[in-house]
């Protein structure tokens, strides 16, 4: 073996000497801050092969005497050409590229140069999502990409986040994008079945991500066929760079508080509540005796004035540690990281802890074969309180529990007597006594091999696994709360998804003309995916009195023991390619045939395709005189992709079981089914322009798109007399039209000072274009109507309190002409606005002066309405009389002539005022300081003495300021894409202090 190696080296040496008659040029490649740039490529202009810089940026290249020019290039740097002349040493400083044609963009099943890209793809780099206080990467994407709306509905750490790219494509099927991490198609969304919310993506450490590509149009997404309709988000995790092993440490600690509070929605204190109740009882016509006894029962004179809101909310802590190592040699590179993240929610019983790791190893086994493995994973422990109307929801108790009810007895022990809590739960005690937790383990791993048959033929195989488990435990004590009725109860749920993707692609490139003017790229691929879900659920009741026995094993009465599976498979073949003429014109096309287990054998397969083209005008002769233009790219694409985002077994008509009687099995019809059910189709059209001028200091991207969805997988409502509420059918259509605008400006760029501005804007108009028989479909607070957007509110219009008597008034008819004090019929409902914003985006500024940097990102959202679900209870003018009210209720009508929107307070309610109407709607327009950061990079020269590569300290604020247009907005303007409040954990504002060290 050793001999062989020596012989091999000799051969190499000889061949080297043969070429030694050439000229050898040496030098060092550095970046703008004089740090070495490893792996930069140094090639002779016009040639393909060349040299690569080592870890210190040094290179050596042997060139023929005829060579005149060398081209230096590296990822994230602008290419630079240098005339050799007589030089034998060329040291060069590369400038960071902002947007150049040589930028490599990650796209479906590979990468491409920006010049050849025909699709609409936005990229997000590591620096933009690292060290944020967001528990998952989907949250960190808010405001980063034009046209990508990322909305939270809860401030619970680890909560799910909804992402909508270019508007809704579907009414009843999924609207969530497809997530790909290192080639693996992920199961995303909420893994919790027992707890409130658990985002699978929160097991992925955002600090392990190198880049994110958001694919938005047909040319980019149709290669994902039936999964591409809602856009595709491709995440690439960090990989090692060859050279000296680098160690990076990130440390951060911070505090968070509630991001938005409205003083109109402050819960009342005891005096205010009792005064209001007395007034309400008088208005009800109650006798003095009844008033006295009722007020006494509400706590009059008990001396208690407890602020439940303050008690269940808190200033929360958070911290983050990450360590990563990366390095390698010319054959093997590695990246290893470990992270620890802890965050508390802004209310009690809400927190998340994550330990995560990422390993990526790549080995160039031979000249032709490269193999790689990567695995990343996270272990998450989460506590999430109940939400919504559950008595155990601490936020509910903040608004519902009377200030005259105390959580503690005089001796300091917990008050566990329901009747002294107005029938509600002491959530402060329950947070301590009861258990609600979730442990999530996720592993995403892949092994891949790439074999180069030749320079133009390459085969790649990737087998990836996405493995998620969730263990959910809950204990409700026998004394008080949800467990009282059953003498205690405990649940244990186990959920597992084993999801694999096996992808094989063959890439072929070919110069069709000898001068390289016309080249062809073709990729053919096969992909199979199977996701296997396994769910076991158990519950036992009847617990011993000790509060420490919290698992179902201690319960005497097992009442739930269930386990089942749920699987889906996809089998796909695809071909994808482009024809490139001098990087001036590029035409692309893709075709994919998908089969899915979700549809019956007759309708299982679907064909999806795209066509795209781009024209890089700056390469044209006639553009040469416009030297200030660095890039002017026109691109357009059309295509068809699909959506199969429905249940795994929605297609067949079904009978279900579990409708048991006397503990004997019972069955019932559970699904109407439709054997003809098939893919929902989405047909995107996009035209875009990319402009880069003034040495790439002004960069503009503009896109116009139309997306038409057809054959919607719609839940068609049925007459309830059929025994069913709805059936899933392929019917209806919808379209989205919109524009996206991204601007990047660098107004100042000097040696020490740099100012960069980023602005993005997206406006989307969603419109339902057809429904079954053209008829409206009621949809809770909303309506589905042809010509209107999905999630358009359809409500009775509230007209204020009658100045004469304080009765609530509504408009009696949809023309809004007459007012009535009788809650009007359904015919009075009108379209009043939509839940999705009309436009949204962000505006960022980053100023760097020497080592100092300040950056701020504002996120804005305009044109939607937010519905306050529970308003009728704390602002119902007496409805839910035994629950606390908010300060806005004090603006009630009290005497004739009062002009107010809050009716007279009547104990137990005033004429259905609490019922759904526009009173519960507020404008959702807001601007938020999403991110604010002040940082300082210590000077290199000082650090090098300490053998430290780089050291940065920073203070970061997230959601620090929130401006809302509507001063009546009850809660945070971010309430999910459906813009509906649900007494969730409040969204936090966070301040963190952090330190990054690179050794």
Binders of other proteins among residues 775 to 794 (CB under 8 A) are: 775-778
Minimal distance, residue 530 CB to other proteins, in Å: 8
Closer CB to other proteins, 298 or 886, in the complex = 298
Closer CB to other proteins, 355 or 528, in the complex = 528
Q: Which residues contact 562 (CB under 8 A, 6 or more apart)?
A: 535, 536, 537, 538
Within 386-425, which residues bind other proteins (CB under 8 A)? 391, 418, 422-423, 425
Query: Is 157 in contact with 852 (CB distance < 8 Å)?
Result: no
Which of 99, 307, 340, 487 forms a contact with other proteins (CB under 8 A)? 487
Mapping DSSP onto H, E and C, the string for 14-46 reads HHHHHHHHCEEEEEEEECCCCCECCCCEEEECC
Residue 551 engages other proteins in binding (rule: CB under 8 A): no
Closer CB to other proteins, 149 or 499, in the complex = 499
Closer CB to other proteins, 414 or 587, in the complex = 414
Within 796-815, which residues bind other proteins (CB under 8 A)? none
Q: Distance between CA 119 and CA 108 in Å, rounded?
A: 11
Closer CB to other proteins, 148 or 784, in the complex = 784
Closer CB to other proteins, 46 or 778, in the complex = 778
Closer CB to other proteins, 212 or 284, in the complex = 284
Tokens found for residue 436: 């609600």
Tokens found for residue 205: 């450490």
Minimal distance, residue 569 CB to other proteins, in Å: 6
Which of 379, 718, 746, 887 forms a contact with other proteins (CB under 8 A)? 718
Residue 295 CB neighbour total at 10 angstroms = 18
Which of 46, 725, 774, 787 forms a contact with other proteins (CB under 8 A)? 725
Minimal distance, residue 981 CB to other proteins, in Å: 18
Query: Is 244 in contact with 334 (CB distance < 8 Å)?
Result: no
What is each CA distance from 204 to 59, 60, 479, 663, in whole angstroms? 37, 40, 39, 43
Residue 664 engages other proteins in binding (rule: CB under 8 A): yes
Within 289-348, which residues bind other proteins (CB under 8 A)? 290, 293-298
Residue 367 engages other proteins in binding (rule: CB under 8 A): no
Which string of x and - marks every residue 816-855 that binds other proteins (by CB under 8 A)?
Answer: -------x-xx-----------------------------
Q: Is residue 603 exposed (0-12), middle (13-18) or buried (19+ Cβ within 10 Å)?
A: middle
Minimal distance, residue 773 CB to other proteins, in Å: 9
Which of 417, 485, 753, 816 forms a contact with other proteins (CB under 8 A)? 485
Kindly provide the b/e burial profile for residues 961-971, where b requires at least 16 CB atoms within 10 angstroms of the residue's own CB: ebebebeebbb
Minimal distance, residue 192 CB to other proteins, in Å: 20
727, β-bridge pairs: 716
Residue 284 CB neighbour total at 10 angstroms = 18
Which of 569, 769, 770, 900 forms a contact with other proteins (CB under 8 A)? 569
Which string of x and - marks every residue 446-465 that binds other proteins (by CB under 8 A)?
Answer: -------xx--x-x------
Q: Distance between CA 170 and CA 728 in Å, rounded?
A: 13
Residue 667 engages other proteins in binding (rule: CB under 8 A): yes
Query: Is 119 in contact with 217 (CB distance < 8 Å)?
Result: yes
Query: Is 122 in contact with 177 (CB distance < 8 Å)?
Result: no
Residue 85 engages other proteins in binding (rule: CB under 8 A): no
Minimal distance, residue 547 CB to other proteins, in Å: 18
Q: Which residues contact 350 (CB under 8 A, 6 or more apart)?
A: 155, 156, 157, 316, 344, 383, 384, 385, 985
DSSP classification of residue 996: E
Q: Distance between CA 160 and CA 384 in Å, rounded?
A: 12
Tokens found for residue 547: 């509060």
Residue 18 engages other proteins in binding (rule: CB under 8 A): no
Within 908-927, which residues bind other proteins (CB under 8 A)? 908-909, 911-912, 915-916
Minimal distance, residue 904 CB to other proteins, in Å: 14
Which of 218, 416, 672, 929 forms a contact with other proteins (CB under 8 A)? 672
Query: Is 178 in contact with 165 (CB distance < 8 Å)?
Result: no
Query: Is 640 in contact with 681 (CB distance < 8 Å)?
Result: yes
Within 104-163, which residues bind other proteins (CB under 8 A)? none
Within 237-276, which residues bind other proteins (CB under 8 A)? none
Q: Using CB under 8 A, which of the segments 229-237, 564-572, 856-864, 959-967 binds other proteins?
A: 564-572
Residue 514 engages other proteins in binding (rule: CB under 8 A): no
Query: Is 888 in contact with 265 (CB distance < 8 Å)?
Result: yes
Minimal distance, residue 598 CB to other proteins, in Å: 8
Minimal distance, residue 325 CB to other proteins, in Å: 36
Within 602-661, which residues bind other proteins (CB under 8 A)? 604, 648-649, 652-661
The closest alpha carbon to 418, from 479, 368, 491, belongs to 479
Q: Distance between CA 494 and CA 470 in Å, rounded?
A: 6
454, β-bridge pairs: 457
Closer CB to other proteins, 219 or 875, in the complex = 875
Minimal distance, residue 792 CB to other proteins, in Å: 15
């Amino acid at each position: 073996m050793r001999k062989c190696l020596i012989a091999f080296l000799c051969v190499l040496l000889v061949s080297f000497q043969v070429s030694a008659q050439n000229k050898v040029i040496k030098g060092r490649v550095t970046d703008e801050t004089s740090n070495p740039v490893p792996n930069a490529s140094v090639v002779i202009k016009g040639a393909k092969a060349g040299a690569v810089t080592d870890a210190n940026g040094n290179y050596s290249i042997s060139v023929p005497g005829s060579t005149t020019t060398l081209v230096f290039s590296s990822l994230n740097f602008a290419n630079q050409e240098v005339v050799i002349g007589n030089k034998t040493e060329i040291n060069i400083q590369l400038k960071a590229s902002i947007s150049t044609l040589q930028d490599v963009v990650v796209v479906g099943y590979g990468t491409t140069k920006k010049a050849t890209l025909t699709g609409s793809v936005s990229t997000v780099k590591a620096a933009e999502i690292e060290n944020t206080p967001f528990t998952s990467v989907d949250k960190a994407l808010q405001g980063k990409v034009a046209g990508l709306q990322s909305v939270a509905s809860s401030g619970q750490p680890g909560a799910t986040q909804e992402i909508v790219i270019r508007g809704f494509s579907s009414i009843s099927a999924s609207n969530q994008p497809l997530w790909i991490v290192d080639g693996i198609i992920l199961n995303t969304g909420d893994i919790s079945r027992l707890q409130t919310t658990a985002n699978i993506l929160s097991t992925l450490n955002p600090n392990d991500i190198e880049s994110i590509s958001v694919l938005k149009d047909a040319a980019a997404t149709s290669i994902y066929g039936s999964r591409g309709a809602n856009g595709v988000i491709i995440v690439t995790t960090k990989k090692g760079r060859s050279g000296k092993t680098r160690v990076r440490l990130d440390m951060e600690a911070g505090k968070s508080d509630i991001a938005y509070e409205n003083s109109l929605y402050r819960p009342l204190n005891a005096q205010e509540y009792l005064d209001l109740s007395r007034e309400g009882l008088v208005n009800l016509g109650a006798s003095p005796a009844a008033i006295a006894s009722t007020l006494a029962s509400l706590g009059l004179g008990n001396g208690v004035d407890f602020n439940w809101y303050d008690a269940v909310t808190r200033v929360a802590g958070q911290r983050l540690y990450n360590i990563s190592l990366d390095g390698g040699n010319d054959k093997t590179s590695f990246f290893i990281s470990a992270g620890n993240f802890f965050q508390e929610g802004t209310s009690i019983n809400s927190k998340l802890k994550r330990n995560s790791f990422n390993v990526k190893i790549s080995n160039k086994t031979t000249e032709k074969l490269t193999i790689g493995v990567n695995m990343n994973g996270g272990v998450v422990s989460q506590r999430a309180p109940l939400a919504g109307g559950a008595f155990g929801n601490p936020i509910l108790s903040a608004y519902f529990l009377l200030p005259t009810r105390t959580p503690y007895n005089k001796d300091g022990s917990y008050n566990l007597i329901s009747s002294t809590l107005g029938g509600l739960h002491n959530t402060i005690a329950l947070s301590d006594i009861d258990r609600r937790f979730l442990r999530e383990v996720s592993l995403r791993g892949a092994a891949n091999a790439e074999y180069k048959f030749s320079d133009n033929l390459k085969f790649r195989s990737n087998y990836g696994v996405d493995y998620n488990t969730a263990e959910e435990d809950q204990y409700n004590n026998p004394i008080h709360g949800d467990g009282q009725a059953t003498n205690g109860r405990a649940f244990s749920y186990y959920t597992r998804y084993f999801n694999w993707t096996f992808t094989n692609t063959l890439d072929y490139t070919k110069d069709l003309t000898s001068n390289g003017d016309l080249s062809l790229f073709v990729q053919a691929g096969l992909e199979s995916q199977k996701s296997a879900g396994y769910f076991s659920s158990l519950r036992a009741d009847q617990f011993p009195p000790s509060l420490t026995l919290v698992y179902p094993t201690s319960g005497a009465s097992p009442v739930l023991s269930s386990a089942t599976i749920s699987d889906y498979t996809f089998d796909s073949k695809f071909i994808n390619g482009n024809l490139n003429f001098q990087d001036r014109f590029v035409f692309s096309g893709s075709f994919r045939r998908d089969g899915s287990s979700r549809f019956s054998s007759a309708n299982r397969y679907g064909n999806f395709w795209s066509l795209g083209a781009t024209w890089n005008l700056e390469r044209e002769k006639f553009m040469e005189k416009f030297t200030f233009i660095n890039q002017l790219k026109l691109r357009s694409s059309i295509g068809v992709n699909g959506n199969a985002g429905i249940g795994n077994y929605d297609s067949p008509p079904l009978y279900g079981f579990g409708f048991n009687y006397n503990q004997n099995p019972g069955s019932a019809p559970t699904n109407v089914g439709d054997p003809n059910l098939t893919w929902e189709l989405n047909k995107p059209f996009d035209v875009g322009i990319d402009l880069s001028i003034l040495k790439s200091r002004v960069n503009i991207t503009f896109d116009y798109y139309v997306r038409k969805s057809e054959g919607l997988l719609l839940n068609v409502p049925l007459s309830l007399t059929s025994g069913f509420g709805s059936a899933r059918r392929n019917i209806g259509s919808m379209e989205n039209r919109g524009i996206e605008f991204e601007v990047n400006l660098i107004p100042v760029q000097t040696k020490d000072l740099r100012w960069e501005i980023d602005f993005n804007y997206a406006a989307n108009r969603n419109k339902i274009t057809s429904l079954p028989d053209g008829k409206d479909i009621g949809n809770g607070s909303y309506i589905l109507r042809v010509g209107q957007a999905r999630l358009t509110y359809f409500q009775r219009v509230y007209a204020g309190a009658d100045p004469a008597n304080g009765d609530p008034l509504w408009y009696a008819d949809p023309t809004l002409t007459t007012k009535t004090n009788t809650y009007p019929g359904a015919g009075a409902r009108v379209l009043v606005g939509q839940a999705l914003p009309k436009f949204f985006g962000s505006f960022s500024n980053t100023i760097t002066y020497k080592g100092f940097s300040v950056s701020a990102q504002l996120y804005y959202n305009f044109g939607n309405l937010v519905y306050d679900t529970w308003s009728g209870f704390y602002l119902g003018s007496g409805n839910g009389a035994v629950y606390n009210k908010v300060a806005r209720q004090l603006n009630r009508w009290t005497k004739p002539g009062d002009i107010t929107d809050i009716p007279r307070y009547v104990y137990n309610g005033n004429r259905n005022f609490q019922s759904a109407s526009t009173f519960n709607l507020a404008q959702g327009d807001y601007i938020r300081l999403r991110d604010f950061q002040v940082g300082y990079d210590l000077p290199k020269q000082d650090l090098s003495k300490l053998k430290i590569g780089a050291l940065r300290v920073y203070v970061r604020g997230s959601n620090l300021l929130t401006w809302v247009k509507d001063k009546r907005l009850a809660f945070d303007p971010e309430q999910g894409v459906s813009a509906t409040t649900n007494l969730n954990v409040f969204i936090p504002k966070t301040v963190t202090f952090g330190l990054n060290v690179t050794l």
